[in-house]
Structure 1
Amino acid sequence: MTQIPSKARVVIIGGGISGCSVAYHLAKLGWTDILLLERKQLTCGTTWHAAGLVGQLRGSQNMTRLAKYSADLYVKLEEETGIATGMRQNGSITVALTEERREEIYRQATLARAFDVDVQEVSASDVKGMYPHLNIADVVGAVHLPRDGQCDPANIAMALAKGARMGGATIVENVKVTAVHDRDGRVTGVSWQQGEEQGTIETDLVVNCGGMWGRDLAARSGVTLPLHACEHFYIVTEAIPDLQRLPVLRVPDECAYYKEDAGKMLLGAFEPKAKPWGMDGIREDFCFDQLPEDFEHFEPILEKAVRRMPMLETAGIHTFFNGPESFTPDDRYYLGEAPQLQGYWVAAGYNSIGIVSSGGAGFALAQWMNDGEPPFDLWEVDIRRAQPFQRNRRYLKERVTETLGLLYADHFPFRQVETARGVRRSPLHAHLAERGAVFGEVAGWERANWFARDGQEREYRYSWKRQNWFENQREEHLAVRNGVGLFDMTSFGKIRIEGRDALAFLQRVCANQMDVAPGRIVYTQMLNARGGIESDLTVTRLSETAFLAVVPGATLQRDLAWLRRHLGSEEFVVMTDVTAAEAVLVLMGPKAREVIARVSPQDFSNEAFPFGTAQEIEIGMGLARAHRVTYVGELGWELYVSSDQAAHVFEAIEEAGAASGLKLCGLHTLDSCRIEKAFRHFGHDITDEDHVLEAGLGFAVKTAKGEFVGRDAVLRKRDAGLERRLLQFRLRDPEPLIVHNEGIVRDGRMISFVTSGNYGHHLGGAVGLGYVPCRGESEDDILSSRYEIEIAGERFAADVSLRPMYDPKAERTRL
């Protein structure tokens, strides 16, 4: 029996492919005293029964980067470790059976080219040539990725484990972690049990790679890790005579994937409504176990598969497999340090793409742990996006019935989840619903995305073209530009920062000058040491020692964690999440002043209430704090109202606004207005990987104020010059739509991709933002080129600007 040490630099919990990958990559970085503990045997949870598909193209640049890394790693692992991995790059084909799906996969092909992934759009007859057994009668399009492949998942994990041992890591099986200990907010050790033996390991770092056990393990330490197991089905046929090697085939319109392996066919499914499993916990002896067959559940997939591949009708079924896999509320896995406990790291919740993800995820997490910051932007899989309420098991059970199927559903823009809704609601939710609001969900918040007219259906009709709410958005948008609109933005994250050292603390973590008079509002970023943007926020100075930071609702947990991480032990600062305490009504448009003047006796003139200031006001029969700022580029105020008074204030504004044509507006309109103004959106246009100067936000950086996090990186970039710039694009053709991830083509060559987009109803065309390489170029050089945007393989001419195309001098906000 391997001796379990009493101390370790890091303890990795879980011996699936994820844990083995983390151990392997930490060892590659030269870490010693790495200890991996597995409750039973390596790979015995989910890894051993995974299908082993290795598809390199993911939904974003960095997720694609990690998947490509995995594929490259798995190719060379066998030579390094001597363990056969079964990795072969036999390619993959995705076929479309509808015009909407063809649009989606052709958009993915454009994205692949932008990410330098080998891809070809192919015809149905080309597919037949590569897959002779396939019925192509209704195939309308396909894409082929020749460097995709498949592997033996268990052997990949074993090879990673061997590589980790070769680097000095210790891996011990049949050891259950019973507790993670902490003191003063950070990890101090791990308790374990092996048979009758028990012990404790002293360590500062743990990595929860516990898969479907990970949620309950994390909960015992107060860490939120929202995932839930679902049953996942596939069948393997008997050997089929003369079956040649074939690419992996995906038919998402039939919820199916196919893999040839050793002369047999594997058919797997991502059915629209999944079966959650393990609601009451997972039994102690669960190890290499299968779940009961449910042929009735799988039968609809199989019926379509037999029509798609007629040879399956006569092929015998060798294996009907049902095994559990972990799924998350948003179909993205979790990576990073938990915000609730320092030293508690996570790599779990892979949503059935754990094999292709784990190689890259292990690399990224190891680099993050080693360097103290991620190697590149990992926000979409960052554990800090998880909301505390999402650990609720009923919520998870309901949500994962949907998220499994969403993997192969049409990935339409603006698609909304349908399950586990209504958890977080504004005090105005019922008012908005009565007035036609159609809601979307972000971070659990129900938010009005658009408002239906009387008699209009209140639901989405999804498409890659103009959706059923396009005209609603246009009317709302033009109301904001020409009249006045009212938004409910209660979902803003609100953090009160106060105490003796609050100013000094904010001066250190924010790039702008924070030493302003009480009542002033400062737009700023929090930067990392590379000059990348960790947070995009406004901070209002309420008094000499009190400030209010306002952040996007989706990033609240991340921003709180960043602030707490940078608070010195000797600093007297208290940070409080006050999000639920105040509703936020946003009144915007050239007629905003006349409306607010009808419900408040305050003077709202430019002289008495200048842009970038906040005042307490009387409004209706209540009180509010009015902030004169804007995210739509118009005159207006954000009104912060105590939640108990929100309904009254809403009603007072609605009544007062009737004479001015006040229109209720949704989040789609907020986004279309901000894109016309080229206002950046965190997580799309600006991330921790994007330098604040290259993002065009240097005006909010004040290096002369003294030291702050990221200052040196800003000064270095100023000296060295910019390597890329964030540009605004508008299509000349008014018909096509830009969402994000479309290709940017400069003088005939694809150079980048669109980071965010929407329709500019005032500008008269689709508008997007995106970075363009510009090393050594002047602004005239950048703007003198010919630009196009590639959408699903078709290119459209675009106008380009370094300054906002709408109101470039920001005169509208100071009307």
Structure 2
Amino acid sequence: MTAIPAKARAVIIGGGVSGCSVAYHLAKLGWSDIVLLERKQLTSGTTWHAAGLIGQLRASQNMTRLAKYSADLYTKLEAETGVATGMRQVGSITVALTEERKEEIYRQASLARAFDVDVREISPNEVKEIYPHLNVADVVAAVHLPLDGQCDPANIAMALAKGARQRGATIVEGAKVTAVTQANGRVTGVSWEKDGEAGTIAADIVVNCAGMWARELASQNGVAVPLHACEHFYLVTEPIPGLTRLPVLRVPDECAYYKEDAGKMMLGAFEPVAKPWGMDGIPESFCFDQLPEDMEHFEPILEMGVNRMPMLATAGIHTFFNGPESFTPDDRYYLGEAPELGGYFVAAGYNSIGIVSSGGAGMALAQWIADGEPPFDLWEVDIRRAQPFQKNRRYLKARVTETLGLLYADHFPYRQMASARGVRRSPLHEHLKARGAVFGEVAGFERANWFARPDQERDYRYSWRRQNWFGNQRLEHLAVRNGVGLFDMTSLGKIRVEGRDACAFLQKLCANDVDVPIGRIVYTQMLNARGGIESDLTVSRLTETAFLLVVPGATLQRDLAWLRKHLGDAFAVVTDVTAAEAVLCLMGPASRDLLARVSPNDFSNATNPFGTWQEIEIGMGLARAHRVTYVGELGWELYVPTDQAAHVFEAIEEAGQDVGQGAGLKLCGLHTLDSCRIEKAFRHFGHDITDEDHVLEAGLGFAVRTAKGDFIGRDAVLAKRDAGLDRRLVQFRLADPEPLLFHNEAIVRDGRIVGTVTSGNYGHHLGAAIGLGYVPCRGETETDLLSSTYEIEIAGTRHAAEASLKPLYDPKAERVRK
């Protein structure tokens, strides 16, 4: 029996592939005093029944980087540990049955080339040659990734566990963690029970790798890990004579995947409407358990499978399996330190890609724990993106019914979740709804994305081409450029920092100088020690000791955590005041005229220049008018007490009927906000700027003041200035007005792929699709960079593009200062 130590540097909770990977990689970094506690037996939750598909291409460069790391690790583990992993690089094929799916998989192929993943587009006849058992009559296209593979999930976990033990880690089965202990905002260890005994382990770090138990375990400490288990079905045939080694096959249009293993065929599914499980908690006895069969639920998948793979019609069924896996509200897993509790890390919620993800995720999290910061940009899986309300079980049950099926749904741009909607609403929600708003959701917040005409359906018709709202966006966009538009931006995160040390505290965190007169607004970034961008925000000085920080709604929890992490002994308080104020953005050349109709205050440049705020009377209410813009026009963000927001909106709407040369006020949505900002080359956090992107290479040096004194990232800024830039963020405009850019298209410089489009939208004023993306430039001048020939590869086709380092729209920012 393995003795449980009383003290450890780190305790890992959960012995699935995720926990074993974290233990292995921490041990590999030299952390020998680590303990992994598993409540039953290793792999007994989800890992043991996983399908074991190793697909290297993911939706972003860093997620692909982690998946490729996993594949490489799994090919080496057997030699290192002596445990057979079943890892075979048999390749994979994804087939398309529709033109829309063809566009998607061809876009993925372009992305794979940009990420240096071996890929090629193949014809239906070539699919048939590789996969002779397949019915390809209605296959329109396919892609082949020859280095993808499959493995034995349980043995992968066992190999990782053995590798961890070999380096000094302690792994104990049958030991249930009953509590994570804490004091003064940090974990202090865990309490455990085993074979009727109980004890504690003192530890600085606790890692929740508890899979489908992770949410319930985390909730004991007030930590939000929003996930919920769903039933996942697959069947395995009896041995089929003559069946030889085959690539993994995905037929997403039929929600199905196929895997040959030892002469048998597995058929698994991600059906459109899933079956959540464990709403009332997971049984204490759960260990290698199966859930009841439900052939009626699986039958539509099987019928399509028999048509796709006719040999299944005569093959006997060896196993019909139903087992639980955990899913999250956005189909992305959780990694990192929880914002609510220092030293509490999470690696859970893998949405059925836990095997291919856990190798790389364990490596990244181990480095994160050791260094105190992620090794590269991991925002899309960062636990800090989770919203506190999302731990609600009713919400999770409703949402994961949809998210399981979205794994194989068409991944159209702008696709909106259909389930668990309407949780967070602006006080203007019903007003906007009555005027044709079609809503999208970010961080649970309902936001008007576009406004339908009275005779137009209020719903999305998704496509890779111009969607049904493209014309609406154009009218909204041009209204902002030529008249005035109104955006409801209540979802913006609002953080109040106040106290005697508030200014000094913010000076330490912000790259720009925020020690400004009351009434001034400063655009700035908060940097990490590498000069990467942790937050993109504005800071408004309200009083000598109080500041308002405005951040994207999606990053609010991240930004709060960053501030609180660095607060230390500063005499200051950090408060989330997001719900206190609505935000109405009036933007466009006629915005000053409209404000003059509803407010007696002076909005002239002399009184209210760009980058300042003033308290105003508006209608019969009060507001703060912030003269800033994210669309590149004259405009104001109006911060209105929530209880007065509807009145102020009504007053503005009434006064704006004939403003702007009679065109009148135009209600605008978030799609238009994005298309306007990309014409002006304004950066978007999470896409164009991340914690991995150096502030100077992102073109934001104008917002950095190294002369003000010390701040986090200052040394990295000075070092980069001395050494020169390795890459630069460039704006692109396609020469052809027809193609569209969304995100992740390949940037081609002089015939060679050099990067990807970080964000894209249609520039209705500039008359073509606009994108941003980084281009390597070590040792080059601006002239060198711009003298090249650029193209953007979209679904395998290259389109000529104009490149610019200055905004293509209003490069001197004259319009915002009118």
Where on the TM-score scale, by shorter chain, does this alignment land: which range? over 0.9
Letter in 2 for 1:451: F
Aligned to 2:505: 505
Deviations 1:723-775 (A, max 9, x none): 00000000010000000000000011111000000000000000000000000
Residue 205 of structure 1 aligns to a residue whose secondary structure is: strand
Structure 1 Cα separation of the partners of residues 272 and 116 of structure 2:
32
Instruction: Report % sequence identity.
Output: 82
Give how far 1:515 is off: 0.7
The equivalent residue for 2:634 is: 635
Which residue number in structure 1 is paired with residue 494 of structure 2?
A: 494
Q: Deviations over 1:763-793 (max 9, x none)?
A: 0000000000000000000000000000000
2:240 partner letter: I
1:245-394 correspondence to structure 2 within 5 Å: 245-394=245-394
- Structure 2 counterpart SS, 1:204: strand
Residue 793 (str. 1) matches residue 796 (str. 2): yes
- Per the alignment, residue 758 of structure 1 pairs with 761
Asked if residue 133 in structure 1 is aligned to residue 133 in structure 2, the reply is yes
User: In structure 2, what is the equivalent of residue 682 of structure 1?
Assistant: 685
Partners of 2:434 and 2:584 in 1: how far apart?
17
Corresponding letter in the other structure for 2:572: V
Provide, for residues 683-705 of structure 1, a one-character-per-residue CA deviation record: whole Å limited to 9, x for no partner: 00000000000000000000000
CA distance in structure 1 between the partners assigned to 2:196 and 2:84 by the alignment: 36
Q: Which residue of structure 1 aligns with residue 223 of structure 2?
A: 223
Give RMSD over aligned pairs: 0.4
What amino acid does structure 1 have at the position aligned with 2:356? V
Paired residues for 1:226-241 under 5 Å: 226-241=226-241
Distance in 2 of aligned mates of 1:756 and 1:707: 32
Question: 2:303 is matched by which residue type in structure 1?
Answer: E
State the shift of 1:127 in Å: 0.3
How does 1:555-594 map onto structure 2 within 5 Å?
Answer: 555-569=555-569, 571-594=570-593
> Mapping of 1:337-736 within 5 angstroms?
337-569=337-569, 571-660=570-659, 661-736=664-739
The Cα of 1:195 is off from its aligned counterpart by 2.2
Distance in 1 separating the partners of 2:183 and 2:199: 18
Q: Secondary structure at 2:518's aligned position in 1?
A: coil
Counterpart secondary structure, 1:10: strand
Deviation at 1:412, TM superposition (A): 0.1
Within-5 A mapping of 1:111-126:
111-126=111-126
- What is the aligned residue count? 814
Query: What SS does structure 1 have at the residue aligned with 2:697?
Result: coil
SS of 1:799's partner is: strand
CA apart distance, 1:536:
0.1
Partners of 1:615 and 1:401 lie apart in 2 by 47
The answer for the alignment partner of 1:84 in structure 2 is 84
Give deviations 1:295-334, integer Å, cap 9, x for gaps: 0000000000000000000000000000000000000000
Tell me the secondary structure at the aligned position of residue 688 of structure 1. coil
SS class of match (2:617): strand
Matched, 1:808 2:811: yes
Partner Cα distance (1:277, 1:293) in 2 = 13
Residue 14 of structure 1 deviates from its aligned partner by 0.1
Give a deviation string over 1:130-171, Cα, whole Å, max 9, x none: 000000000000000000000000000000000000010000
Distance 2:130 2:340 in 1: 51
Which residue is equivalent to 2:158?
Answer: 158
2:446 counterpart SS class: strand
Aligned-partner Cα distance in 1 for 2:203–2:259: 43
- Between the aligned partners of 1:659 and 1:467, the Cα distance in structure 2 is 30
Q: Which amino acid aligns with 1:120?
A: R
**Structure 2 residue identity aligned to 1:584:** V
Structure 1 segments (4+ residues) deviating >3 Å: none
Structure 1 residue 476 displacement after superposition: 0.1
CA distance in 2, matches of 1:83, 1:740: 41
CA offsets 1:50-73 (integer angstroms, 9 cap, x no match): 000000000000000000000000
Corresponding letter in the other structure for 1:533 = I
Name the counterpart of 2:782.
Answer: 779
The alpha-carbon deviation at position 659 of structure 1 amounts to 1.3
Match of 1:742 in 2: 745
SS at match of 1:674: helix
SS of the residue 1:203 aligns to: strand
Corresponding letter in the other structure for 2:241: P
Distance in 2 (alpha carbons) for counterparts of 1:181 and 1:593: 56
Secondary structure of the corresponding residue to residue 236 of structure 2: strand
How far apart, in 2, do the equivalents of 1:528 and 1:583 lie?
31
Distance in 2 (CA, whole Å) between partners of 1:454 and 1:812 is 33
Structure 1 gaps, min length 5: none
**Which residue of structure 1 aligns with residue 28 of structure 2?**
28
- SS for the counterpart of 2:656 is helix
TM-score by length of 2: 0.99
SS in 2 for 1:659: coil
- Structure 2 counterpart of 1:207: 207
Quote the Cα distance in structure 2 between the aligned partners of 1:753 and 1:50: 32
**Displacement of 1:541:** 0.2
Cα displacement string for residues 599-658 of structure 1 (whole angstroms, at most 9, x for unaligned residues): 000011111110000000000000000000000000000000000000000000001111
Whole-Å Cα distance in 2 between the matches of residues 589 and 179 of structure 1? Answer: 55
Aligned residue type for 2:625: A
CA distance in 1, matches of 2:35, 2:752: 48
Task: Report the TM-score, using the length of structure 1 for normalisation.
Answer: 1.00
| 2-structure distance, mates of 1:157, 1:369 | 21
Residue type matched to 2:789 in 1?
R
AA at the equivalent of 1:594: D
Partner of 2:224, secondary structure, is coil
Distance, in Å, in 1 between the alignment partners of 2:486 and 2:75 is: 56
Q: Distance in 2 between matches of 1:224 and 1:35?
A: 24
Displacement after TM superposition at 1:440 (Å)? 0.2
Partner deviation per Cα, 1:558-592 (whole Å, 9 max, x = no partner): 000000011122x1000110000000000000000
SS across alignment from 2:320: strand
Give the SS at the match of 2:8: coil
Distance 1:543 1:28 in 2: 51
What are structure 2's unaligned runs of at least 5 residues?
A: none
Q: C-alpha distance in 1, partners of 2:577/2:763?
A: 34
Q: Aligned equivalents of 2:614 and 2:605: distance in 1?
A: 13
Q: Which one-letter code corresponds to 2:6 in the other structure?
A: S
Name the CA distance, whole Å, in 1 between partners of 2:490 and 2:565. Answer: 26
How far did residue 189 of structure 1 move? 1.5
2:354 partner letter: G
Q: What is the DSSP-based 3-state SS (H/G/I as helix, E as strand, rest coil) of the residue aligned with 1:226?
A: coil
Q: Which residue does 1:142 correspond to in 2?
A: 142
Q: 1:31-60: CA deviations, max 9, x gaps?
A: 121100000000000000000000000000
Q: Which SS does the other structure have where 1:117 is aligned?
A: coil
Give the stretch that moved more between structures: 195-204 or 534-543.
Answer: 195-204
In the alignment, the residues of structure 2 paired with residue 87 and residue 568 of structure 1 have an alpha-carbon distance, to the nearest angstrom, of 47
